[in-house]
Structures are given as structure tokens and as C-alpha cells.
Amino acid sequence: MLHGDCQKLDPRIRRTRGLLQDALKRLLEEKEFDKITIQDIAEAATLNRATFYAHYPDKFALLEELIRVNFLQLLECRKVRFDGSCATAFHPIVLAVCDYLAELQKSRASKQRQFEAFVEGTVIDQIRVILMDGYKKHPVERSINPELIAATASWAIYGAAKQWVNNPDRAPSEEFVATAVNLVRPILTAGTAPAGNS
């Protein structure tokens, strides 16, 4: 489900993109993103520059895909799904975001301001996509556009997880997620008729 587009790609394309993503990941542990060149990435991947440009227009597109793929792999490993029918079903999404940010915080790359902005934008967008997929599978009559709800909830989930990960005295993620779910649930159910009303 989460890797639908990726699975449609030719295996050779997936392999080459995987080499480029792995190369960038290794390089980010050695130096700052703005100091990494396309030539550095191509050499680390044992490919040429022309091959790089056949797959990505620039290193920013590669970074965005690296973040997206890593986050989606975490969600896949946890079998995270949001079917849109129950507000508490997004508990694993919040937990996955917390775990992703906590793991990322250990890396050298996370200290780079430019990298952080890409993580934020990419992860928020992926949360929004997951929520919208759930809403499409189980449509509910709403007085508020589901796109707006998904976008707002995505920012709220990411913002709460970011606040949690930046707290040096943070509670365990499972404990925090219960609080985050209570904060975000009203957003996810916004615009729906309360139970029992017709």
C-alpha cells in the first residue's frame, strides 16, 4: 500500500535509486548537506553523474525521496494503516513519527538546519497522504473538507512529536502517544455529526 508507486518501478530503476539514496545517507554522516555535491553522491554510489540526473533533477529531490522512503519503510515494518473509520486507529502513526524523529535525532544529519526542514515537509506530507487514503476508503459526511482536516492533523501530529523528541526529560513514547491521540482526535473527527445524531 505505502510503496505502491515504488513497486511499479522497473527493478533496475529501484536498484539505482537505492544506491543513490544509500550513498547520500552515508555522506550525511560525514559532512553537511550543503557541502555534498552531485559528484560526491555519484562516486559514493559507484555511478556517474549522468545516471544521477537520469533519476533526480538535483540533490534536494534525492534527499526528499530518501526521507520519504525511510519513513514509509518504518510504517511498512509496523504495518501502519489508517482506515479512516476510527480516530484511535492513528495511534500507530503517531508512535511511528515519534520513533522516526527519535532515531533521526541520533544521526549527525539531524543537526543540519536544511535537513530538518526537508524532514518536516516530507513527513507531514506522508502523514497527510495516509490520512486521506483512510478517508477515501471510509467516506463520512463532513461539513469540513477532508483535505483540510488531514493537512491540519498532519501538522498537529508532527508538531506534537517534534515537541516530544526535543524534550530531554521526555516520557516514554507510548505514554506520550496517548496524550497526542487525545489532542489530535478532535481534529480528525471535526465536521462529523456526533454519535447518535441524525
128-152 tens-digit pLDDT: 998 898 888 878 888 999 999 999 9
| pLDDT at 3 > cutoff 50 | no
What span, in angstroms and rounded, lies between the C-alpha atoms of 43 and 49? Answer: 8
- Report CA torsion sign: 53, 57, 59, 63: negative
Q: Which residues contact 184 (CB under 8 A, 6 or more apart)?
A: 90, 94, 153, 156, 157, 160
What span, in angstroms and rounded, lies between the C-alpha atoms of 102 and 39? Answer: 31
What span, in angstroms and rounded, lies between the C-alpha atoms of 153 and 151? Answer: 6
pLDDT of 43: 96
| pLDDT at 4 > cutoff 50 | no
- Report CA torsion sign: 168, 169, 172, 177: negative
| CA nearest to 59, candidates 44, 43, 37 | 37
Written as one letter, the residue type at 40 is D
79-110 tens-digit pLDDT: 766 666 555 567 888 888 998 899 888 876 66
- Per-residue confidence at 164, pLDDT binned at 50, 70, 90? very high
Task: Judge whether 177 and 155 are in contact, CB under 8 Å.
Answer: no
7-62 tens-digit pLDDT: 566 889 999 999 999 999 999 888 888 899 999 999 999 999 999 999 999 999 99
What span, in angstroms and rounded, lies between the C-alpha atoms of 59 and 33? Answer: 9
| CA nearest to 1, candidates 137, 150, 180 | 137
What span, in angstroms and rounded, lies between the C-alpha atoms of 110 and 104? Answer: 6
Task: Judge whether 94 and 161 are in contact, CB under 8 Å.
Answer: yes
| pLDDT at 197 > cutoff 80 | no
- Per-residue confidence at 111, pLDDT binned at 50, 70, 90? low
CA-based R_g, the chain, Å: 19
CB atoms within 10 A of CB 73: 13
Task: Judge whether 45 and 18 are in contact, CB under 8 Å.
Answer: no
Count CA atoms within 13 Å of residue 18 on its CB side.
10
| pLDDT at 1 > cutoff 80 | no
